[in-house]
Structure 1
Amino acid sequence: PSTSLLVDSMVKKGLFDRKENPRDRRSLCIRLSEEGESRFQLLYNGMKKRLDSLFGILSDQDQEDFCRIVDTLYTHVYTK
């Protein structure tokens, strides 16, 4: 039920398009609308710019070390 409410909200805001599934009438196909895609690109580009700026202060070695540490932590958390 909560997923349906979230999807309904996003459809009403024009961020998702919802269509009948041609292979199964009991389900629906949901995708980003043009507006949703546009907003996603704006958010993505803004985050990328901020991260590039943040990581730009680190040396190449520091960036590699950071990525290695994050990978190690991720593996530890999600393999249990």
Structure 2
Amino acid sequence: MRRVGTVVRTAGGLAIARGEAGKAPPEIGAGVVNESLSNVGRVVDVFGPVNHPYVAVTPANAVSLASLVGGPLYAR
């Protein structure tokens, strides 16, 4: 498991996480969990600068996007 980044905002029904500087982003389709290892969703896009990308995550059915803002996400 590796850190995806911290959720900085929500937009269009997606959680937008700021990726870790200098680390490769997760692959599109990768599963995403929170600190308590609860399923959060899947990576649907990676965009922005190569050295510090943003990661768009589509939430799982029972996940509240507002509850993710400010928290870290991890890829399986």
TM-score bin, normalised by smaller chain: under 0.3
Q: TM-score, normalised by structure 1?
A: 0.25
Q: TM-score, normalised by structure 2?
A: 0.25
| More helix, by proportion | 1
Higher gyration radius (CA)? 1
| More strand, by proportion | 2
